[in-house]
A and B are shown apart, each in its own frame.
Chain A
Amino acid sequence: MKKEGEKKMGMKSDVQLIKDGKRIDGRNFDELRPLKIEAGVLHRADGSCYLEWGGNKVIAAVYGPRECFPRHEQDPLKARLTYRYNMAPFSVEDRKRPGPDRRSIEISKVSRQALERVVFLEYFPRTSIDVFVEILQADAGTRIAGITAASVALADAGIPMRGLVAGCAAGKVDDTVVLDLGKEEDNYGQADMPVAMLAGTDEVVLMQMDGDFSKEEFDQAFELIRKGIKQVYEEQKRALKEKYEKGIEGDINDQ
């Protein structure tokens, strides 16, 4: 009956999450876990991205624009965008039953909607652009890690977009609002709010929240997220530049 990947906010515990002004993993309240992004890591995909964020390991791939199947889902005015968030069975503590569950279907839906106005779908009528996100190792904040990787993979696929979507979460632990919850903070914390924005703008494209926030705490969390997203965006740009600075030559020689 255990729901895979499901977390429970505000579980009773003796875990002290903040000690001497530092968090359980030694971070400051406004500090992200280490983030590393690499673009173009898969050979067959049109675009791809590997991302490590704290203990998360995520790989994203983009196929398309390509022919849209089933045919009746073709849109004469724009491309269809699909998004599949999927957790590897071994990515979590207790084995996750493979295949889509209710949680991953919901995450896939909100992530797809977050990207739908960002990608210029109207440039590719009747086609499909398919985004696949595989969570290889999960450690809190996977949906945000997923969409951050997905948008780098879309850029790597050369698909025109209004910008990069970058995500970040904030939450509440021991009555303190903190940025980017780690695993223990996620399990035993009091609130979690994952947000994705069109980086460099004030546009919120994905937003969920659960737990307990007063309006003031919500405002604090939002401010932290805004700053966090700036850093995530820098790393996204660095990853893309790094790949293309190395040159396209590598790719040509591969053919």
Chain B
Amino acid sequence: MTNEDIIWEIKKNPIKALVESGKRVDGRAFDEHREIEIIRDFSKKAEGSCLVKLGNTQVLAGVKLSIGIPYPDTPAEGALSVGAELVPIAAPIFYSGPPNENAIELARVVDRGIRESKMIEMDKLVIEEGEKVWMVSVDLHVLDYDGNLFDASNIAAVNALLNTFVPKYEDDKIIREKQMDLPVREKPLSFTFVKIGAKNLLDPSLVEEKIKDAEMTITLTEDNHLCAMQKGGTYPYYKEDLDEMIDTAIRVSKNLRKKVFE
């Protein structure tokens, strides 16, 4: 137990009692997001990028394209990879070193939303079938960790992909000039809840995340189908919890989409 953990332990009971009475520490409703700010095209060296501020949480996503060999089972498709780094500037509990299980899980959950919603038209990223395709690498740089990295990262990654260009490719060389926009057909959007006591809270702040019993990330497509889910935390969910969270996500998705994608 680190010193920080002790602080959360002390705060746990009063915050739980507050949640029990229907309130949140920062005064939000249970289904309300924090302020969201979106800064597109943050990095001029990346083919696409986006900085997202969700409350005090900040995540920068950058997209780079490179040429690679397609996977043998998908010779006529480009490839996607998502990586995440919890860099030490983002929180006193982050240390340098190879990605730990939290960073890996974050990257894989964001990856799953993009991949399973079939956001990118991978068949349009082929240069030579079976030989040469575009590899799309999304890298998530967590700059400030104040809770809910899943949703901040999802919004950053999807927005970065939405303003990504495919460079020119001539004489076996990549020329970093726009050939076309990255072909996309879908915008996956994730909704993360924490369970505190019997209540499910959308967009958890750091303290809510630290005292959570369980956590659920639900990613929806534009027609409100589920394309990815991930349970975290150690307490159980009941079917009613799952129904409530899915319904809430569907209910708030229209407004949130407007906010983050327009």
A residues adjacent to B (C-beta < 8 A): 1-3, 8-11, 75, 102-103, 105-106, 108-110, 113-114, 116-117, 193, 197-198, 201-215, 218-219, 222
Q: Assess the A198–B71 pair: CB atoms within 8 A.
A: no
Report the Cα distance A105→B112, complex, angstroms: 15
Is the Cβ of B229 less than 8 Å from the Cβ of A212? no
A206 contacts which chain B residues (CB < 8 A)?
A: 231
Shortest C-beta distance, A138 to chain B (Å), equals 16
Is the beta-carbon distance between B101 and A106 smaller than 8 angstroms? yes
Q: Is the CB of B1 within 8 A of A212?
A: no
A222 touches B234 (CB 8 A): no
> Is B182 positioned at the interface, with any CB of A under 8 Å from its CB?
no
Would you give 19 A-B contacts (Cβ < 8 Å), ordered by A? Answer: A1-B71, A2-B73, A8-B73, A102-B104, A103-B108, A110-B105, A110-B231, A110-B232, A113-B233, A193-B229, A204-B238, A205-B234, A208-B229, A210-B116, A210-B229, A212-B221, A212-B225, A215-B247, A219-B243
Contact residues of B with A, CB < 8 Å? 1, 68-69, 71-74, 79, 101, 104-105, 107-108, 112, 115-118, 216, 221, 224-239, 242-243, 246-247, 250
Assess whether A208 is in contact with B231, with CB atoms less than 8 Å apart. yes
Secondary structure class of chain B's binding surface, majority of residues: mixed
Q: Which of A116, A197, A204, A214 has the most CB of B within 10 A?
A: A204
Residues of A within 8 A of B68 (CB): 1
A109 contacts B72, CB within 8 Å?
no
Asked whether B74 lies within 8 Å of A105 as measured between CB atoms, the reply is no
Once the chains bind, are A204 and B242 in contact (CB under 8 Å)? yes
Does A102 lie within 8 Å of B108, measured CB to CB? yes
Q: Complex formed: what's the CA distance from A106 to B221 in Å?
A: 23
**Least CB separation from B236: chain A residue:** A203
For A94, give the chain B residue with the smallest CB separation.
B72
Q: How far is the CB of B154 from chain A (nearest CB, A)?
A: 14
Query: For the complex, what is the distance from the CA of A240 to the CA of B216, rounded to whole Å?
Result: 33
Flag if A105 contacts B231 (CB, 8 Å): no
B228 engages A207 (CB within 8 Å): no
B112 touches A222 (CB 8 A): no
Contact indicator B71/A2 (Cβ below 8 Å)? yes
Asked if A198 contacts B229 (CB within 8 A), the reply is no
Contact B101 A109 (CB under 8 A): yes
**Interface hub of A116, A197, A211 (most chain B Cβ within 10 A):** A211
| Least distance between B128 CB and chain A CB atoms (Å) | 16
Contact partner of A207 (CB less than 8 A), chosen from B1, B101, B229, is: B229
- Whether A213 and B225, one on each chain, are in contact in the complex, defined by CB atoms closer than 8 angstroms, is yes
Q: Give the distance to chain B from A128, nearest Cβ to Cβ, in Å.
A: 15
User: Given A75-B1, A202-B238: A108 and B229 within 8 A (CB)?
Assistant: no
Which of B101, B108, B236, B246 touches A205 (beta carbons < 8 Å)? B236
Question: Closest residue of chain B to A193, judged by CB?
Answer: B229
Task: Enumerate chain B residues within 8 angstroms of A110, measured Cβ to Cβ.
Answer: 105, 230-232
Contact B227 A218 (CB under 8 A): no
Q: How far is the CA of A117 from the CA of B116 in the complex (A)?
A: 30
User: Which of B72, B73, B108, B239 touches A106 (beta carbons < 8 Å)?
Assistant: B108
Check if A117 sits within 8 Å of B250, measured CB to CB.
no
Give Cα A207–Cα B246 distance, bound, in whole angstroms: 14
Closest to B82 in A: A102
**A202-B239, A203-B236, A210-B116 are contacts. A1–B230 as well, Cβ < 8 Å?**
no
Contact assessment for B228 and A209 in the assembled complex, using a CB-CB cutoff below 8 Å: yes
* Most-contacted residue by chain A among B226, B229, B242 (CB, 10 A): B226
Contact A113 B232 (CB under 8 A): yes
Closest to A3 in B: B71
Instruction: Choose one: A9, A106, A219; the contact of B104 (CB below 8 Å).
Output: A106
With a CB–CB cut-off of 8 A, which chain B residues contact A203?
236-238
B229 in complex: contacting residue of A113, A201, A209, CB < 8 Å = A209
- Residue on A nearest B250 in the bound complex, by CB: A215
The 9 closest A-B pairs by CB, nearest first: A203-B236, A209-B229, A207-B231, A116-B234, A213-B226, A204-B237, A210-B116, A109-B101, A117-B234
Contacts of A102 in B (CB 8 A): 104, 107-108
Contact pick for B226, options A8, A109, A116, A215, CB 8 Å: A215
Complex CA gap A1/B105 in Å reads: 20
Given contacts A8-B73, A9-B116, contact A212 B227 (CB under 8 A): yes
> From B99, which residue of chain A is reached at the shortest CB distance?
A102
B contact residues around A9 at 8 Å (CB): 115-116
Report Cα–Cα, A105/B234, bound state, in Å: 17
Within 8 Å CB of B225, what residues of A? 212-214
Contacts of A213 in B (CB 8 A): 225-227
Q: How far is the CA of A206 from the CA of B1 in the complex (A)?
A: 25
B219 vs chain A, min Cβ distance (A): 9
Whole-angstrom CA separation of A106 from B111 in the bound complex: 13
